[in-house]
Amino acid sequence: KNEVEQSPQNLTAQEGEFITINCSYSVGISALHWLQQHPGGGIVSLFMLSSGKKKHGRLIATINIQEKHSSLHITASHPRDSAVYICAVRNVGAGGTSYGKLTFGQGTILTVHP
């Protein structure tokens, strides 16, 4: 079982729909990142979360540390949101080390049709 699991793996939506992508993890973490990979391959950081909720434009990210789960929501989806969305966790090692380690989910391929 992977340490970081995303669901769904593939998601198709119609323009305007509300979208949710989920990320569950099994390790202790100090931070969770949501990334977006464009069809051309470039990767940009969307959010870093250590608790609670963050919002940027039509994107909302939440995290529940106790349940080891995070969600990325896209409101009023648009074809330009079509991309791969990746969550990544910053592990906390057994001794509180590994400050530099990141473990990634498999990614969710989102396609938004006009």
Partner 1 sequence: EAQVTQNPRYLITVTGKKLTVTCSQNMNHEYMSWYRQDPGLGLRQIYYSMNVEVTDKGDVPEGYKVSRKEKRNFPLILESPSPNQTSLYFCASSWGSAYNEQFFGPGTRLTVL
Rank residues 35 and 74 by Cβ distance to partner 1 and give the closer one.
35
114 near 79, Cβ under 8 Å? Answer: yes
Smallest separation, CB 18 to partner 1 (Å)? 25
Smallest separation, CB 31 to partner 1 (Å)? 5
Smallest separation, CB 99 to partner 1 (Å)? 5
Rank residues 17 and 22 by Cβ distance to partner 1 and give the closer one.
22
73 near 18, Cβ under 8 Å? Answer: yes
Rank residues 60 and 109 by Cβ distance to partner 1 and give the closer one.
109
d(CA 108, CA 22): 9
Which three-class secondary structure state does DSSP give residue 103?
A: strand
Binding site for partner 1 (CB under 8 A): 30-31, 33, 35, 41-45, 48, 50, 86, 88, 90, 99-107
Rank residues 60 and 102 by Cβ distance to partner 1 and give the closer one.
102
**Structure token digits, residue 30:** 């100090």
CA distances from 92 to 25, 36, 100 (A): 12, 24, 9
Q: How many residues would you count in the chain?
A: 114
Smallest separation, CB 75 to partner 1 (Å)? 22
